[in-house]
Amino acid sequence: MRGRIYSDQRCPMCGGKFAHDERRRGLFCLEHPKIAATGRFRVRFGRKTHKRFGSYKEAERFLTGLRYKVDEGSYDHRDYQQGNPLGFATLASRWLQVKEKEVKPRSYSNLRNYMEKASSAWGQANIKTIGYAEIEDFLLDQEVSDKTRANMRSCLHSFWTWLQRRKVITIYEFPEFPKIKFKLGFRKVIDKETQEAIIDEVHRISYHLNPKIWLGIKWLATYISIRPGELVKICEEDLDLRLGLFILRHTKEGKDKQVPMLPEDKELIRSLPKGFPKMPFFRHPKGIRGRKLDEPFSHKYFYRWWKKACENLGVEGVDLYGGTRHSTATALRKHLSPEEIKTGTMHSTNKAFERYLQIQNEDALNVYRVANLITSGGQPVANQILAGEGGNLLKFKE
């Protein structure tokens, strides 16, 4: 049968090696059959599986298990190699090395955080022993929001998909993942008048320090396809005044995005001092405390000035994203169709777009208007509306 048990001990009588006798369940000297090995046992199973034991029973049990795994087709020599090549922490570390080169720093920071928590929970547990129950227990033990818990689940699923692609596990060893339900909330929005007042306040408190603070926030409220993180990273060369385009190279989608520029903004940019092509457009001038000359704006720099202006005006609970992009998209609903607004936000899916614009609200309001007229004027009014609008109540507006 495949595999044998050995001992580093020698016969005390003749110095000979001990031979494995499975029938007698031990290791015995060939010259002195009654003398058996008492320790320092080793199991050798093929060329790649070797393990030491303190007793024969432990070694025998291990060898029997290996033979059983061969019979059922689940034997994998990596399960028993030194260095734990199938240990969760070992593989998680290698995956993070790969992801660090593939994703943005902020995304990588989140992935590293999730995997470090999982490594603390599972350590060097063999990756094949982690299944649905272990993953579910780990996720439920995290004191985080449902959205963050869903992100952690997505991270782990991506990790196991990578393991399968690298042939570390087979499709049959891919664990089932629990479903995590969460609901994305709508950001608080403001009316256009309040938005304009906040932007005017930003102008008042910052323009004398650096006009680009006000300009950046104004652009976020105008060009609703541009995210704050995308705008703050543009360089001088990314403002193509000849073609009238913002060229965004650090997008959430991972591909370049071109956004048309209004003529008045082209003239405004021409009036500002121009830097070298590779210089960040949003950079600090000389004389700003704690900032070096031409140092780029930080990721949250616009947000800080937005919040400062909100505090001055007594506006609470409105962040930069909601107060600019979301609020503008909502205000546009009075003038443009959802389809037209979607071309401006450049959303690729309806689900993402609906977070910016509660499309159903206006249509539902039209239904309520008709219902009110029917109640007030009776069926003749309803018939008149239906006849005038081709039977489509949702097209009716005051």
Q: According to the model, what pLDDT value does residue 393 have? A: 44
User: How many other C-beta atoms can be found within 10 angstroms of the C-beta atom of residue 147?
Assistant: 13
Q: For the residues 185-200, what does the mean pLDDT come to? A: 84
Contacts of 119 (CB under 8 A, 6+ apart): 88, 89, 92, 93
Predicted pLDDT of residue 107: 87
The count of residues in the chain is 398
Say yes or no to pLDDT of 214 above 90.
yes
Pairwise CA distance, residues 128 & 91, whole Å = 12
Which range has the worst mean pLDDT, 93-97, 120-124, 214-218, 376-380?
A: 376-380
Mean pLDDT of all residues belonging to the chain: 82
Put the strands of the sheet holding 245-248 in their side by side order: 239-240, 245-248, 257-260
Burial of 140 (0-12, 13-18, 19+ CB in 10 A): exposed
Q: What is the mean pLDDT of residues 218-232?
A: 89
Residue 355: CB partners within 8 Å, gap ≥ 6? 184, 186, 187
Question: What stretches of 290-358 show up as alpha helix (H) in DSSP?
Answer: 301-313, 320-321, 327-332, 338-345, 350-354
Instruction: State the pLDDT confidence band at 178, using cuts at 50, 70 and 90.
Output: very high
pLDDT tens-place string over residues 48-95: 777 888 889 888 888 888 887 787 777 776 666 665 678 899 899 999
Is 131 a residue whose pLDDT tops 70?
yes
Q: What is the pLDDT of residue 336?
A: 62
pLDDT of residue 390: 43
Q: Does residue 317 have a pLDDT over 80? A: yes
Q: Which of 4-8, 112-116, 239-243, 368-372 has the lowest mean pLDDT?
A: 368-372
Say yes or no to pLDDT of 269 above 80.
yes
Mean local confidence (pLDDT), 98-126: 90
Least confidently predicted of 130-134, 228-232, 303-307, 323-327: 323-327
pLDDT of 394 over the 60 cut: no
pLDDT digits (tens, 9 = 90+) for 355-366: 555 544 555 556
* 152-156, 245-249, 385-389: least confidently modelled range: 385-389
pLDDT for residue 209: 93
For the ranges 28-32, 139-143, 210-214, 383-387, the lowest mean pLDDT is seen at 383-387
Q: Which of 182, 175, 169 is nearest to 136 (CA)?
A: 175
- 159 vs 128, more confident: 159
pLDDT at 348 over 70: no
Residue 329: pLDDT over 80: no
Q: Residue 398: which pLDDT band, with cuts at 50, 70 and 90?
A: very low
pLDDT > 70: percent of the chain: 79
CA angle 161, 167, 168 (to 5 degrees): 80
Residue 381 has pLDDT above 70, yes or no: no
| Domains along the chain with CATH numbers | 4-80 (no CATH), 88-173 (1.10.150), 192-354 (1.10.443.10), 360-395 (no CATH)
- Residue 27 phi/psi, 5-degree rounding, is -115, 130
Residue 395 binned pLDDT confidence (cut-offs 50, 70, 90): very low
| Beta strand ranges found along 46-126 (DSSP E) | 49-53
pLDDT on residue 200: 95
- Give the C-alpha distances (Å, rounded to integers) separating 100 from 214, 230, 234, 255, 276: 34, 20, 22, 18, 30
**Cβ atoms of residues 342 and 353 within 8 Å:** yes
pLDDT above 90 covers what percent of the chain?
A: 40
Q: What is the separation of C-alpha 4 from the centre of its chain, rounded to a whole number of angstroms?
A: 49
- Residues 368/361, Cβ–Cβ less than 8 Å: no
